[in-house]
Amino acid sequence: MFVTSHPQVRETLERALAEDIGTGDITSRLTVPADLQAHGRFLAKQSMTLAGIELLPVIYQLRGGAKVHLQKESGASVPCGEILATVEGSASTLLECERTALNFLQRLSGVATLARRYVDAIAGTNTRVLDTRKTTPGLRQLEKMAVAAGGATNHRFGLFDAVLIKNNHITAAGGVTQALRYAQEFKGPIEIEVRTRAELDEALAAGAKHLLLDNLTPAEAKEWIAHIGGRAKVELSGGITLETVRSFADAGPDFISSGAITHSAPAVDISFGLTLD
């Protein structure tokens, strides 16, 4: 689930370690004997959906290595008090990697936990929860992996892998029909946002097969989806919260997208404790 061999992942970890350690961990150098060995454990301080645990071996390897024993895997539902992983090696190495490791685990598990809550909220419907491009700059690859760990579905990764014609594209192209016509040279997925019933009918007449309906109420969404009648896939978005997502899913869309899964996910509470051999 977490592809640690992806070059962007390794680069992100390298940058995070360099940002924190810089020219060296002064405190550990002054207070910890260079040859001291230690054990550490990562402990869940709340219930969560875990994500990013597979990054730990890479983080320690980048700083000279340590023995990492993963007790859980990404996607696992973990109760409060569970040990997530243990590590043993140089005390200085464990200490200098502590914050970077926790930052990734807490952030990514927060994303996975919120994604799982959205997925659970619409259980029993035929709707899938999608993420968006509203990710932390530089962390998109990892945050989308975390979304998947939470059971939600990744939307496009960027501007390069799918066409999503939004309102400003429609304005620039000169209308719905023109925008769809221009996009036909792309052989991958093509989705278009429609804001009015007139745009909806124009898009369907122009052969649109994937529609984005933005900022509707659940009642409006149900009406529009009934009007579409299966002629195109439907995605709902715009202000859909954890409290309202079920009512939108009951309107019958194929997808619901939520930027909140990544841009507003609170970090979970994970601790790291050090013990000496």
Q: Judging by DSSP bridges, how do beta strands 270-276 and 37-44 pair with one another?
A: antiparallel
From 99, 133, 181, 209, the catalytic residue: 99
- Chain centroid to CA 239: 18
Neighbours of 4 (CB within 10 A): 16
Please give the Cα distance from 168 to 175 (Å, whole number). Answer: 10
In degrees rounded to 5, what are phi and psi of residue 44? Answer: -75, 125
166 is catalytic: yes
From 96, 98, 131, 193, the catalytic residue: 193
Please tell me the total number of residues recorded for the chain in this structure.
Answer: 277
Here the tokens at position 21 are 């350690």
From 10, 41, 128, 166, the catalytic residue: 166
From 82, 88, 120, 214, the catalytic residue: 214
From 10, 41, 128, 134, the catalytic residue: 134
269 is catalytic: no
Using only C-alpha atoms, the chain has a radius of gyration, in whole angstroms, of 23
Active site (catalytic) residues: 99, 134, 166, 193, 214
